[in-house]
Amino acid sequence: MTDDHIFIDNIGSKFEGKAMMREGWKGYFSMFPDYKITVTQIMGSRNDALLCGIAEGTYQNRKEKEAHFKVPAAWKAIVENGKIKLWQVFADTKVQFDITDKYK
């Protein structure tokens, strides 16, 4: 990430700064330690692209099938000097909220 990195979530909330995002990702990975994205298509250029694919993860590595989500998603990425300057998520995250609510 660039030092002035910008993250925009699925509802348009904007978070700025590399340090803030590191903390944000630590929190997200504590909830979904196996979180991953699978990119199936890239549109655009090397420095400004839209990526399409799947996001998935399991709440705190629980074994129940209901603790796992797998959803279609898209991401906008802007790259500057080999680092991600902007990362924007386009996905329905209701399933993740439903999972965290169920296991709290």
Q: How far apart are CA 96 and CA 47, in angstroms?
A: 30
- What is the mean pLDDT of the segment spanning 23-41? 96
Overall average pLDDT of the 26-44 stretch: 97
Domain regions of the chain by residue span: 6-103
- Summary mean pLDDT of the chain: 95
Mean pLDDT of 22-35: 96
Average pLDDT over residues 32-47: 97
The yes-or-no verdict on residue 104 having pLDDT over 90 is: no
Q: Which CATH number fits domain 6-103: 3.30.43.10, 3.40.50.150, 3.30.465.10, 3.10.450.50?
A: 3.10.450.50
- pTM metric for this prediction: 0.89
pLDDT tens column, 75-103: 999 999 999 999 999 998 888 989 999 98
Contacts for 68-73 with beta carbons within 8 Å, 24 or more apart? 69/95, 69/96, 69/99, 71/95, 73/37
- Position 27 scores a pLDDT of 94
Distance in angstroms between the alpha carbons of the first and the last residue of the chain: 31
